[in-house]
């Protein structure tokens, strides 16, 4: 179908059939562009596409259906409008079925998204592409500016000998003396909400794109994130380190698993407060998490994590644990909205 014959329809968040059709396009594109990568779990993608406030940032999705009855989707995009920081951006995700590429659908959706972004008062349209993919070629033709590279690494737990994580913990006992660990599954315990907010704020010294605003968390925002995680389905495991003498939270790590994607785990943030660095807490927390998962998530086979290519400290920790590079790097791209709109 050419772009001249295509018609964009706005996604109704209550239309389960259309949402499934969008997910099917995602799976087809992933098989063509990144066959080793984990797909979006179906329920998580559905929750993101629905974007019910106040849990999610304002967002909307549009799709192109082939002629005929039913939502036979061949292309779609979603756009969200950050409401805490990066207020000049609109963040876009776009997918075209491999069988329908090079027909102008991507260009049509990009221009439509630019109009939606302009209507929302946003000056820039940003998204993520994987180097060497169809999306990379499309972004280059569109004149997008590329940001810092993000590298995916995967740990294959099936290759890890029994007892490995216990040995890691024992080797770190001296360096981490004076710290204790606690863990939980699900929402943040009331006593730890303030500490977790501080851990999120600690992430602001990690490498990021020059145009990207830092994120600032308080207790209310932690609770909003907790509610979002619950809506996405699955389980979130968290381990935090505390200074034994003071009870101060010194670091934390989190990991998520989804029943919709058996065998896969997804590493979330890992952070150590600056004043507590030098005690190998990052490695200790991640080794402890892997030991916890071995006991509570026995079906887990692989864990995926993403790091900025410049974040050599965290990369070294992950490689020490056995994570290996998987697939091509990805990066954010940025396009000025004005450049995509018709000139008057």
Q: So what's the pLDDT on residue 106? A: 96
pLDDT of 20 over the 70 cut: yes
Max Cα-Cα span within the chain: 68
**What kind of fold does domain 8-150+330-340 have according to CATH?**
Aminopeptidase (3.40.630)
Q: How far apart are the first and last CA of the chain?
A: 29
CA–CA gap between residue 328 and residue 171 (Å, rounded): 33
Looking at per-residue pLDDT, the higher value among 344 and 342 belongs to 342
Q: So what's the pLDDT on residue 5? A: 57
Q: So what's the pLDDT on residue 210? A: 83
pLDDT of 68 over the 70 cut: no
Q: Domain spans of the chain?
A: 8-150+330-340, 161-321
**128 φ, ψ (degrees, to nearest 5):** -115, 135
Please indicate whether the domains covering 8-150+330-340 and 161-321 agree at the CATH topology level: yes
pLDDT of 94 over the 90 cut: yes
**221 φ, ψ (degrees, to nearest 5):** -75, -35
b/e sequence 25-41, b meaning 16+ C-beta within 10 Å: bbebbbeebbeebbbbb
pLDDT, average across residues 11-25: 93
CA–CA gap between residue 32 and residue 137 (Å, rounded): 14
pLDDT of 277 over the 90 cut: yes
Would you place residue 211 in the very low, low, confident or very high pLDDT band (cuts 50, 70, 90)? confident
CA–CA gap between residue 66 and residue 64 (Å, rounded): 7
Q: Are the CB atoms for 77 and 91 separated by under 8 Å? A: no
255 three-state secondary structure: strand
pLDDT, average across residues 318-330: 96
CATH of domain 161-321: 3.40.630.30
What is the β-pairing status of strands 235-243 and 330-336?
unpaired
């Amino acid at each position: 179908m050419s772009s001249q014959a295509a018609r964009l329809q706005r996604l109704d968040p209550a239309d389960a059939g259309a949402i499934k059709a969008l997910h099917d396009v995602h799976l087809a594109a992933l098989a063509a562009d990144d066959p080793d990568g984990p797909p979006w779990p179906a329920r998580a993608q559905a929750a993101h596409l629905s974007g019910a406030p106040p849990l999610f940032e304002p967002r909307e999705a549009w799709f192109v259906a082939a002629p005929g009855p039913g939502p036979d989707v061949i292309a779609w995009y979603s756009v969200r409008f950050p409401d805490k920081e990066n207020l000049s951006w609109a963040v876009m995700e776009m997918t075209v079925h491999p069988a329908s590429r090079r027909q102008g659908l991507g260009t049509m959706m990009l221009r439509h998204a630019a109009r939606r972004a302009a209507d929302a008062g946003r000056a820039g349209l940003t998204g993520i592409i994987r180097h060497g993919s169809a999306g990379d070629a499309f972004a280059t033709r569109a004149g997008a500016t590329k940001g810092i590279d993000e590298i995916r690494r995967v740990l294959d737990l099936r290759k890890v000998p029994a007892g490995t994580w216990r040995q890691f913990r024992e080797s770190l006992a001296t360096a981490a003396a004076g710290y204790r660990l606690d863990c939980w599954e699900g929402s943040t315990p009331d006593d730890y909400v303030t500490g977790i907010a501080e851990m999120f704020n600690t992430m602001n010294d990690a490498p990021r794109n020059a145009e990207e605003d830092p994120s600032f968390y308080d207790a209310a925002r932690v609770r909003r994130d907790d509610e979002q995680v619950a809506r996405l389905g699955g389980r979130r495991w968290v381990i935090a380190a505390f200074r034994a003498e003071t009870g101060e939270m010194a670091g934390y790590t989190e990991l998520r698993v989804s029943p919709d994607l058996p065998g896969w785990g997804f590493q979330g943030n890992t952070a150590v407060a600056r004043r507590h660095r030098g005690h190998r807490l990052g490695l200790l927390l991640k080794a402890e998490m892997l030991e916890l998962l071995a006991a509570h998530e026995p079906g887990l086979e692989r864990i995926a994590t993403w790091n900025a290519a410049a974040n050599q400290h965290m990369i070294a920790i992950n490689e020490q644990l056995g994570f290996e590079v998987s697939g091509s790097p990805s990066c954010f791209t940025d396009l000025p909205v004005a450049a995509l709109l018709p000139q008057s």
